[in-house]
Structure 1
Amino acid sequence: GQDTEHRLHTLSRCQCLVSTCHIYKYTFIKEKMRWKDAQMYCRTNHTDLAILFNGPDEKRLRQSAGNMDEPEAWIGLYHRQPSTRQWHWSLPEEKFHEDDTRWDTDEPNDGGQQENFFCSTCKMCFSHEACSSVYSAGKQNCSIVHEEKKWREAQIHCREKNRDLISGIKQLEEFTVTESQKKKMWIGLFRDKWRWSSGNRFNFRNWESDQDETEGEKCASIQLTGLKKWKSADCQCLVSTCHNYKYTFIKEKMRWKDAQMYCRTNHTDLAILFNGPDEKRLRQSAGNMDEPEAWIGLYHHQPSTRQWHWSLPEEKFHEDDTRWDTDEPNGGGQQENCVIITRDKKWIDLKCDKKNEFVCCDETNVSFLFNL
């Protein structure tokens, strides 16, 4: 593999017309939801969260949005850990087939899972480094861009000129280079962990910047103002700027209901915890907890159904957000209806009239997001 930070010359080609059309109608839902809830809503009332096959799809999506004040919206692209990276061609119409590859010896070697772009290397067989031939009136219509760029910069450069990085083995093999043109160049082969909600293996991406795929679950949003690119965000966000909860540990022991009242009076509510950034911020604010446990804002008030709720009414509870300790929740004979967090950040259900220290939260940076 080649260092993806290298700035290399670029192989580009004109974008072909789509032979098989994917015409999607896009509908904007002006209700703030987390990505998973938005997906469920769309599958119930429409087909799915928005998928984008190519540039024209994205253009039609933006046209359907009109002059919206909201800065961004969910689309149906996501990745989870663990997840395998899949190779794609930059040109949306071109499908990647493993049988067609021409890897060099010991490639791809991943480079510590950091090498996600393919740099062609000139050898006796010129199939890798050749530029595609796109025929117009019997003439080749392609070019080698003699500017050194990173892969993402090269892709943006080509697309800004209504072209794309060369994509597909057939296109590569049809074009030849002169002896003086033999050098390392980027082609349109890349890989990532992102998947479409619909299950389609569409390869179109329009990221604002390279994506860090070492983190946990992420979902994609599309910017409707500014750079008008795609961004990755915590899937638990309800809004374009997430509910960035600030956590405060209260070193006074109270029953759960009294702790709830204290937090609602002096902060926002008892602590709400989702995956990712919330949990990280709580750890940072906790430091070394003096007590082994503290109340958070999770409870249920109907022991027979055991349906859990967050203290903050607007927040929906999702079972896949939980961090239950082993054999929890056990109910305690339907008597344990409130939840504490332990020093090692596990959850345990307890009787609500037990006195514990507790964690309050404050909402910051709230702005609305509408969902596709």
Structure 2
Amino acid sequence: MTGQPDNAGSSEYCTAVSFGDSGSWTDENCNTVLSFICYSASFHQYHFVNESKTWTEAQRYCRENYTDLATIDNMEEMNSLINTVNGSYNGSAWIGLYDDVNSWRWSLENNNFYQEGERDFRNWYHEPNNNVGNELCVYMDHNGNWYDSSCENYYTFVCYDGRENASQKYVVVYEGRTWTGAQSYCREKYTDLASVSNETERQQIMSIVHYYYYYYYGYFYGYNMWIGLHRNRLWSDQSSSSFTYWLPYTPWDVSQPDNGANVQGQQGAQHCTAVSLKYFGQWTDESCFANLPFFCYSDEYGMFV
């Protein structure tokens, strides 16, 4: 429409589409009551492929014929994926989520903080083993050894204080928190959860905590302390979706993921994710070498009034 925008009355700060003028735009008063258009940047169209393949074979098929193995962002998409089967299948099928046990990273991500190779410093003690399928965070014991653990466990923790006026580089907080709770505390009070990027830094932390023990039933125990090392499961298309729909504990089945802890011969070997149509699409971790049908997705774009 000609003459637009004109900010009539110095009060037109919002934009509308005029369908009477071939979709031309006009500026309008933001308090005007009008119909409106919502936009969905993208949504996934799912495709069920009823051919048994390993997870890697399924990934290759989806990338060649669609976009990728299925990524799921929310419960609405989860229901859409289930409806793709339309009751024709009642078993398990691959989606794109997988567990990369080598994807560890530090909470403090500033590249200037690390010298070459320091991001990769580790001091594992017969770890990591992801023992029950959900050990995505790392604690250090009183001997300085590292273990992977569920991020929901409550441990004391070590903060890093990188401020110019800091009186000490590391601060041990003797308060039990989850890993996320510890991270939030350190970022609010100091800089971040501690990165341990070389042996010198490990020894510096140990010099602070070495003499802190607690007494329990006749024995002395050292504190377990969260550090900043952690990881997430990954999607095949490298999506950042944090949505999960794991199968909870039932009288008939163990809670998921369990990394094969309850399956003879598969303990520590279940790194890929399947939906169980038997359990309304809830997720289980499985051996990536199992042969299962699978879900692919393709992207659709559009607007909805």
TM bucket (normalised to shorter chain) is 0.3 to 0.5
More strand by share: 2
Q: TM-score if structure 2 supplies the norm length?
A: 0.40
Q: TM-score if structure 1 supplies the norm length?
A: 0.33
Higher relative contact order (Cα pairs below 8 Å, separated by 6+ residues): 2
